[in-house]
Structure 1
Amino acid sequence: MFFLKELPSQQMVGTYAKDYGADPAHISSALVMMRRASLLIRSLDAYFAAHGLSQLRFLVLIVIDREPDRTSLTPNEIAQRIDVSKPVMTRTLQSLHKDGLITVSDNPSDGRSKDAALTPEGRQRLQDTLPGYFSLLSEAMTQPSAAAG
């Protein structure tokens, strides 16, 4: 998260950038980008919470669903596609399973592995969440940069 509500003035950025050999325009652009991203993440977090999800739980559902030729993935495959540790992934999968959004079953080709698949409720939760998710992303990209402060 980027917690700074008011971005520094161009003069301040220029002074610091000059002292450290950086391009003030690049620094200002990066600060605006970080502020806008932080506001978007906050909006998404609130949106996901209203749908009984978190960003991570939503991403797990999306990662499982986006495989066109498969209906399930192993926990390891999911972890490789999402930037979290294996213990965090394990807890997230357990939580999704407990809430009835995924099933976890033995992998038929590897007895040591499991498969995670969306349940009908998980697929519906994803479908119910996607329209607002895309709306928030679209809205964030159409807002002028000045709205970032």
Structure 2
Amino acid sequence: MGMFFLKELPSREMLKGYKERFPQMDVDDVGEGLRLLRRASLLLRRIEAYFATHKLSQTRFLVLIVLDREGLHGGLLAKEIAEKLDISRPIVTNTLKSMKDDGLLHINPHAEDGRAKWITLTGTGREKLSAVLPEYYAIIHDFMNTDKDEG
């Protein structure tokens, strides 16, 4: 996950100086975009710190969410999980294996294609997701209702 580590955003005067060098630049749009990047990074840090207390990462959480969302089908192929996440296939593969090792997922050969892997949540995986979602949503709610200029 990319983070925006700039603690002090450029002043409006500094952005106006850049506009003189790069006339196509819109000072208001760039200023707002930088503020959004900064706030999104702060929120991601809070969420990742919270996940760490539950032995999760953003990637592991997203795998749980995607599988939970597909509950009607019971599971997904490993390649379908990779397609639904904006994460490289090798990282997804390694994440799925470690989540299986931790008892969060079942990985079985697909009935029609023995090379394909069918991924389903275990009871432990469902419990983990149910345990983290309330506070996850509370963190987002609290963050969205704090002063937008904090940082």
- What TM-score, normalized to structure 1? 0.94
How far the C-alpha of 1:142 sits from its partner, in A, is: 2.2
1:94 & 1:123 partners in 2: Cα distance? 17
User: What residue in structure 2 maps to residue 92 of structure 1?
Assistant: 95
Give the drift of 1:83.
1.1
Counterpart of 1:4 in structure 2 is: 6
Q: 1:65 aligns with which of 61, 65, 68?
A: 68
CA distance in 2, matches of 1:28, 1:126: 36
The superposition leaves residues 64-123 of structure 1 with CA deviations (integer Å, 9 ceiling, x where unpaired) of 110142111110000000011111111000000000000111211222211111100000
User: Identical aligned pairs, as a percentage?
Assistant: 45
Write the mapping of 1:104-143 to structure 2, written as runs, cut at 5 A. 104-143=107-146
SS at match of 2:149: helix
Q: Which letter does structure 1 place at the counterpart of 2:12?
A: Q
Q: Look up the SS of the partner of 2:115 in the other structure.
A: strand
Query: Does the residue aligned with 2:64 lie in a helix, a strand or coil?
Result: helix
Match of 1:115, SS state, is strand
Q: Which runs of 5+ in 2 are unaligned?
A: none
Matches within 5 A, 1:50-61: 50-61=53-64
Aligned to 1:102: 105
Q: Determine the C-alpha separation between the residues in 1 that align with 2:127 and 2:65.
A: 12
Q: Who is 1:16 aligned against? A: 18
- Kindly indicate whether the alpha-carbon contact (under 8 Å) linking 1:63 and 1:78 is maintained by their aligned counterparts in 2: yes
Q: For the aligned residues, what is the CA RMSD?
A: 1.1
The size of the alignment, in residue pairs, is 148
Comparing 138-147 with 75-84, greater Cα deviation is found at 138-147
For residue 143 of structure 1, report the CA deviation from its aligned partner: 2.4
